[in-house]
Amino acid sequence: MTIRVLLADDQTLLRQTFRLLIDSCADMEVVGEAADGAEAVELARAHRPDIVLMDIRMPGTDGLAATEAICGDPGLRATRVLVLTTFQTDQHVARALRAGASGFLGKDVSADALLDGIRTVAASDALLSPTATRALIARFLAAPDPDAAPALPADLASLTAREREVTALAAQGRSDREIAGELSVSPLTVRTHLQRAKTKLGARDRAQLVALAYRTGLVRP
């Protein structure tokens, strides 16, 4: 299956570089290019890509607002946003993840890491390594967001005890294999529990499930 990618960046040269790189892969294709956030939202609705590679800093409607619009559109539920950023913009990363982004990469990322990141997010896995989960999710998403409605512990009531347990371990930065070893189950069973938890809680992917775990107090930094 070909991964359909929409590029959103105000730098023409960077978009062209990304297009050449992505189009050189047999399993990917670029379906559109946007120079600002408003155009990214418009093209996402027109093309319904699998992935939007989204720059944060753009003139007019920036990547954060565009991420919120895309991730909040029921018609684009299958579209995932991979944010490009620098790691100095901590609060921007936090807001992008809260808005529904499935992961983020630094703009100095290598070509192989960029392609691997696109494939990871397209496979419905958050681009958050266990290390990133521990260091970033706990640091940013556990902080109060004054603009967001608080998640309540009652939101977890629909989960079984095992689903809560697996979700908590994932939020602590454990990989599926590590969780499986700790609970003496198979990695497939772990993935099944996580998928059921995502479905029940309306989480787009693992990143959103982890964010919810922190916001509800299921896990604390």
Averaged pLDDT, 167-181:
87
Structure tokens at 118: 């696109």
Task: Let me know: does 206 contact 175? Beta carbons within 8 Å.
Answer: no
Model pLDDT, residue 152: 54
Instruction: Tell how strand 80-85 and strand 28-34 pair up.
Output: unpaired
Query: Is residue 114 helix, strand or coil?
Result: helix
- Longest CA span, the chain: 51
- pLDDT digits over 123-155, tens only? 876 555 444 444 555 555 555 555 555 555 566
Residues 6+ apart with CB under 8 A from 191: 176
Q: How confident is the model at residue 219 (pLDDT cuts 50, 70, 90)?
A: confident
**Nearest by Cα to 166 from 148, 185, 153, 150:** 185
pLDDT exceeds 80 at position 200 = yes
The whole-angstrom separation of Cα 200 and Cα 155 is 9
Level-2 CATH architecture, domain 3-127:
3-Layer(aba) Sandwich (3.40)
- Res 178 pLDDT > 80: yes
* pLDDT over 90 percentage in the chain: 42
- Proportion of the chain in helix, strand, coil states, percent, rounded to 5: 55, 15, 35
Domains of the chain, by residue range, sit at 3-127, 153-215
Architecture in CATH for domain 153-215: Orthogonal Bundle (1.10)
112 against 205, higher pLDDT: 112
| The pair of three-digit structure tokens given for residue 115, joined into one six-digit string | 């392609």
